[in-house]
């Protein structure tokens, strides 16, 4: 047997083994990455769902308290306390969303705007100012609508290059979704 043929045979076997190991490594890496992205997407969906439901419940509670204030319903104090409890639950839920979506960005800004609007509405209800409470409620509802759309967009792009690019964007790149750029300056501070 020729030594050159043996060398070629050994090289062929080595190349086959190397390509087999490389293929197995790349396959495992892609599968692991896909699993990580799917777990991240699932966690984001659950957190966003919990938050949106909590804010919706809080806004319905505030609306009920405002209506009770306007109609002179005897159960008004209990409704105001219940609305405050719902707002507190929503604020606690927002922490998980901040952890998964980031504290800097449009989702966080709109989450903060919902929080500030609901707190403003609650303070106005407690002072007996139904008009200001309605204005804050409307601003919080609008911010919640933006928040839902932003969270859905971020969930959809989880693990993509668009998701990575979004992490480097600032609020100023999308002024229409920034709650600071909306016409809420007419709402008096609580």
Whether 151 maps to a domain, the answer reads yes
Burial of 45 by CB count in 10 Å (0-12 exposed, 13-18 middle, 19+ buried)?
middle
The predicted structure's pLDDT at residue 61: 96
Whether 113 maps to a domain, the answer reads yes
Q: What is the DSSP letter of 160?
A: S
pLDDT tens digit string along 47-104?
999 999 999 999 999 999 999 999 988 888 999 999 999 999 999 999 999 988 888 8
- pLDDT band at 171; cut points 50, 70, 90: very low
Split into its structural domains, the chain has a count of: 1
Whether 26 maps to a domain, the answer reads no
Domain that holds residue 71: 41-181
Whether 34 maps to a domain, the answer reads no
The predicted structure's pLDDT at residue 173: 56
- pLDDT band at 185; cut points 50, 70, 90: very low
- Report yes or no on whether pTM surpasses 0.75: no
From 133, 141, 149, 123, select the one nearest 48 (Cα to Cα): 149
- At 165, which CATH number? 1.20.120
């Amino acid at each position: 047997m020729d030594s050159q043929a043996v060398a070629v045979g050994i090289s062929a076997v080595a190349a086959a083994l190397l390509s087999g190991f490389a293929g197995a490594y790349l396959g495992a890496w892609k599968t692991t990455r896909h699993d990580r992205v799917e777990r991240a997407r699932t966690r984001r969906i659950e957190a966003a769902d919990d938050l949106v439901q909590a804010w919706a419940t809080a806004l319905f509670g505030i609306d009920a308290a405002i209506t009770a204030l306007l109609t002179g319903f005897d159960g008004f104090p209990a409704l105001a306390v219940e609305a405050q409890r719902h707002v507190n639950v929503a604020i606690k839920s927002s922490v998980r969303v901040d952890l998964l979506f980031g504290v800097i960005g449009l989702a966080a800004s709109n989450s903060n705007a919902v929080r500030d609007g609901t707190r403003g509405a609650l303070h106005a209800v407690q002072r007996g100012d139904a008009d200001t409470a309605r204005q804050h409620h409307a601003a919080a509802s609008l911010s919640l609508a933006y928040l839902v759309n932003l969270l859905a967009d971020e969930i959809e792009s989880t693990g993509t290059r668009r998701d990575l690019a979004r992490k480097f964007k600032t609020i100023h790149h999308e002024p229409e979704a920034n709650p600071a750029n909306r016409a809420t300056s007419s709402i008096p501070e609580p």
